[in-house]
A and B are shown apart, each in its own frame.
Chain A
Amino acid sequence: MTEERTSPPQLRLSGGVFTFSVLRLESLDPGQLEVQLKTPEPVKQFLHNAPIVLDFLHLPDQQLPLRPWMDILRAAGCFPVGIRNASPAQAEAAAAMGLPHLRGRELEPALQETPAEPSACSPAHTTGTGVSTEPGQILRHPMRSGQRHYARNRDLICLAAVNAGAEVLADGHLHVYAPLRGRAMAGVMGQEHSRIFCASLEAELIAIAGIYAMPDPGHPLWGKPAEIALEGEQLRIMPLGT
């Protein structure tokens, strides 16, 4: 009888902010991606169940079949959730497959103007998101296998060990004043000036702005204090404090 009974429940929409990994496609040949995805175990673990956005920036503006890309990514255990930097035709093809064209935040120009040695100034200047006067976040307890911690919009300072199988992420710098044995990612939103500092480098994986490396026990700085920076497309590992 009453209106409440017949009207359907209201839609409940709310906003949310999520972090996706962006995969830059470098060639029109899906086979190349397939080879690249045959990565060592820590990267595989990182990619497992990860939502992935495909970046078309480096691809020519031509139509391309999307299905093979999707199949390769699914086989690697990740979920393609969208594309970016696509041409209108590419975007249309993606939409037909249920992949939206995303307009995620690009690096802000202000960011790229940050001085070449941002670690010398306060972290507030280097997180570069406009909300960044917050001091870094401090973790006092060890990060243990299976645990994950993400410091959004700021630095992360770990006072105890980050153990194998644990994962620490920060939009800014990452400081680990103890052995770093797990996976460490700085500049998660693409901040290329972010750095990783650790008291003992024993990491399974290190990454800055999505560029990763797996230091191996043969590295001269293995087990030693190290600083890691992104230079061009490569991570540079250097002794800490020299």
Chain B
Amino acid sequence: MAKIVVVTSGKGGVGKTTTSAAFASGLAIRGFRTAVIDFDVGLRNLDLVMGCERRVVYDFINVIQGEAKLQQALIRDRMLEKLFILPTSQTRDKEALTAEGVARVMDELHGEFDYVVCDSPAGIETGALRALYHADEAIVVTNPEVSSVRDSDRILGILAAKSRRAEEGKEPVREHLLLTRYAPRRVQGGEMLSLEDVKELLRIPLLGVIPESETILQASNQGIPAIHMKGSEVAAAYEDVVARFLGEEKPLRFTQPEKPSFLKRLFGG
């Protein structure tokens, strides 16, 4: 039976799609049958970040409207045998995501996968509500700035009130904080909230910290999920996130500014 994980935030541009791609890939690397779904109808970014945009024939909306079978729309990942992508449409609007349609697709995925990762659109309207409705767990992607924290807080309130688990009076959705685009140097300079600030404001368990890095841009330009960028900090940070999600203990990394090297200190950097 699949566990459903929503990657959400309220705010746009914080790293949900980047995280969905890396996290779903990380689960598949660990051997779990994983599906990652793009709920951002109209924008459609996930297939680009996963590098499968040319192989899209049918999408999530086609399946919801009965124009294609789920098997026809699921795209097998280039790199990972156990990973499948369900892309979305760029030409339809959010209203095409009907509650019944989404429920049907979720039901069907339930039997076939270990994890279903839902990449949520920004905002707190229909698209975001559909993406979080079925969630068992939520990764709340937050940047170290006040407006992002406020939007994350808002989405946490919505998870507690409007998810299926809330409506059915079950165990609440398990909440995880993922702090992304973290630039320790700018935190030190007081331009950004610190990890401690964000934890104190949101008060949910921390899943990890992803540093701000050029590597992300290179990865998404090549259509390669960031977790595959061998030797990079972001890949290591996303590996830690997956490990912690699966219950392993991992110390935090990349949250302190890099110390300038001995030579740099000697001669000035």
Contact = CB atoms under 8 A, between A and B. Distances in A.
B157 A146 contact: yes
A52 B151 CA distance: 29
Interface in B115-157: 124, 150-151, 153-154, 156-157
A161 to B, nearest CB: 6
Interface in B168-225: 201, 203
Contacts of A27: none
A145 B160 contact: no
A145 B203 CA distance: 13
Contacts, number: 30
B161 interface: yes
A142 interface: yes
A225 B229 CA distance: 48
Contacts of B160: 141, 144
Contacts of B150: 145, 164-165
A21 to B, nearest CB: 23
Contacts of A164: 150, 153
B153 A160 contact: no
A39 interface: no
Instruction: Name, among A141, A142, A144, A164, the residue most crowded by chain B CB atoms within 10 Å (CB to CB).
Output: A144
A157 interface: no
A147 interface: yes
A161 B157 contact: no
Nearest to B200: A179
Interface in A152-191: 160-161, 163-166
Interface of A: 141-147, 160-161, 163-166
Given A144-B156, A145-B150, A163-B201, 10 more contacts: A144-B153, A144-B157, A145-B153, A145-B154, A146-B124, A146-B154, A164-B150, A164-B153, A165-B150, A166-B157
10 contacts: A142-B156, A142-B203, A144-B154, A145-B150, A145-B154, A146-B154, A160-B203, A163-B201, A164-B153, A166-B157
